[in-house]
Structure 1
């Protein structure tokens, strides 16, 4: 036979059906072909394989030794193709014991993850989850190697490694936080008042969360002075409670601190952008049943909480 590149793989279906039926007319009917078309296909098969394959006899078509040897190989190959081309099975979350790993922000872990996990476990009690910090290695390697299933809640990224897919997930309002007794700030601030205050913010230990606030200020020809960069929101909020600094953070997180610390909310400048959170996964697995299920659950969670972007 010549190179497989020049072989019509559809002829394998013809061969398998002829070997099953041992009759040209019946095989043609099963394949929804005319008898002349099937006879022509058999001729092409014989030429390609340089063997008569099926020979007429009083009992119909009889296979040659070459045909008998080929049959199991062809059947296995067709079965493998059929299985590979079939739509992926759905993920049976209700009975699964699958472990998922999410790389995420402290905001998602603190504010949203407990409710998200509780919601999932009611219908899928066998599942388990791990939370990891977002690092550049997560985007460059861990997603592709499936050490991390999805990156949840990271700010929108202008550039991503090849093969990594980003989709909008949630938009969250930003709000400012100051000490309850901060006399220099009222119920809201404009841009000029905003930059006149000392600021507290989270340190970007991942290198993947450039400040959208600073980008906004630059567009207006302004900068701010940051007096403290903290690793997590609660530590930053405690600094705010004991100083005259201002902090900008997602509204849901800020509202929690109002009940925990001597701090109050301040409406931010109207020019500040929304926090745009995303879902990030690797294109290799985006259609895998587990990935489709997890993505849909996260989207449903956002819709339920009125935060879908």
Structure 2
């Protein structure tokens, strides 16, 4: 044999079948080949290995010493190939003790995560999660190095590192929050008045997001004054409750603060974009069974959550 580069590896299956059956017709049947096709393959195998390999005797077809020496090598090689080419092991949530790491927004962690986790634990009691902040390192290195399994809830990004996959997940409308004592603001805001009000907003810890609100205002030749950038929603809402500033945030988060603080909902300018939340993962692991399962359950959760949200709003 001159070189593996010129050797047809399919011939190893022919060799394996002939060693097992010691009969051309039976070997052909096992491989779902015609007898002439298998005989031709055997001829090629003999030429490649420069040995007759099998000789017809009074006791049937017998392997030569060269064939006998090859048998354990071929068996081991085929066993390794079959193992390596087999589909990945099925992920079984009910039996798994896997810990997933999610990088998320405050909105997902506060509004959705408790329900998401409680639903999962009902049929996957051994699974657990770690929650981390979304930082530039998460997208540039954390996903690729698998320090983070998935980024959940980040607003749609225009540019992401190579290999990172972003898919739409859930949309949420934005509303404004104002203090009950704030007489400057009525029940609705047009874009001109919106730009003139004082604002509180959530600080972008990730360093990734140009403010969609500010981008919208710029398109209309407007700007705004932000008097406070806070690290979490509750602190920002408390600032709103004690000042005449307003805050723009997802509706369901705002509704929670209305029940907790002396604040009220205000309809924002119609020009403001919705929050387009996404799931972000690395292409290296997207087909890995555990990650594929996580993506699926998050997607199904979003469908149920949106349905429930729509039902509540209709009520």
- Interval containing the TM-score (normalised by the shorter chain): over 0.9
Contact 1:16–1:74 at 8 Å: present in 2 too?
yes
Partner Cα separation in structure 2 for residue 2 and residue 272 of structure 1: 70
Partner Cα separation in structure 2 for residue 304 and residue 298 of structure 1: 10
Partner of residue 312, structure 2: none
Q: What SS does structure 2 have at the residue aligned with 1:259?
A: helix
Partner Cα separation in structure 2 for residue 45 and residue 65 of structure 1: 15
Partner Cα separation in structure 1 for residue 188 and residue 171 of structure 2: 21
Q: What SS does structure 1 have at the residue aligned with 2:284?
A: coil
Whether 1:149 and 2:178 are equivalent positions in the alignment is no
* Higher mean C-alpha displacement, 274-283 vs 209-218: 209-218
Partner Cα separation in structure 2 for residue 219 and residue 76 of structure 1: 66
Partner of residue 268, structure 1: 268
1:180-206 residue CA offsets vs partner (Å, 9 max, x unmatched):
111011101010010010111111121
1:23-64 residue CA offsets vs partner (Å, 9 max, x unmatched):
111111111212111111111111112222222211222112
Q: What SS does structure 1 have at the residue aligned with 2:260?
A: coil
Give the TM-score normalised by the residue count of structure 2. 0.94
Residue 78 of structure 1 deviates from its aligned partner by 2.0
Contact 1:187–1:267 at 8 Å: present in 2 too?
yes
Residue 76 of structure 1 deviates from its aligned partner by 2.3
Partner of residue 3, structure 2: 3
Residue 276 of structure 1 deviates from its aligned partner by 0.6
Partner of residue 121, structure 2: 121
Contact 1:154–1:209 at 8 Å: present in 2 too?
no
Partner of residue 224, structure 1: 224
Partner of residue 83, structure 2: 83
Q: What SS does structure 1 have at the residue aligned with 2:204?
A: coil
Partner of residue 137, structure 2: 137
Partner of residue 282, structure 1: 282
Partner Cα separation in structure 2 for residue 280 and residue 247 of structure 1: 27
Contact 1:103–1:148 at 8 Å: present in 2 too?
yes
| Structure 1 residues 1-309: aligned runs within 5 Å | 1-306=1-306
Partner Cα separation in structure 2 for residue 247 and residue 128 of structure 1: 34
Indicate the RMSD between aligned Cα atoms, in angstroms: 1.4
Q: What SS does structure 2 have at the residue aligned with 1:110?
A: helix
Partner Cα separation in structure 2 for residue 220 and residue 65 of structure 1: 86
Partner Cα separation in structure 2 for residue 65 and residue 136 of structure 1: 63
Partner Cα separation in structure 1 for residue 43 and residue 247 of structure 2: 79
Partner Cα separation in structure 2 for residue 161 and residue 122 of structure 1: 36
Structure 2 unaligned runs (5+)?
Answer: 310-315
Give the TM-score normalised by the residue count of structure 1. 0.96
Residue 84 of structure 1 deviates from its aligned partner by 2.8
Partner Cα separation in structure 2 for residue 216 and residue 78 of structure 1: 61
Partner Cα separation in structure 2 for residue 137 and residue 76 of structure 1: 43
1:66-106 residue CA offsets vs partner (Å, 9 max, x unmatched):
22222222222222322333333321101211111111111
Partner Cα separation in structure 1 for residue 239 and residue 79 of structure 2: 65
Partner Cα separation in structure 2 for residue 110 and residue 10 of structure 1: 56
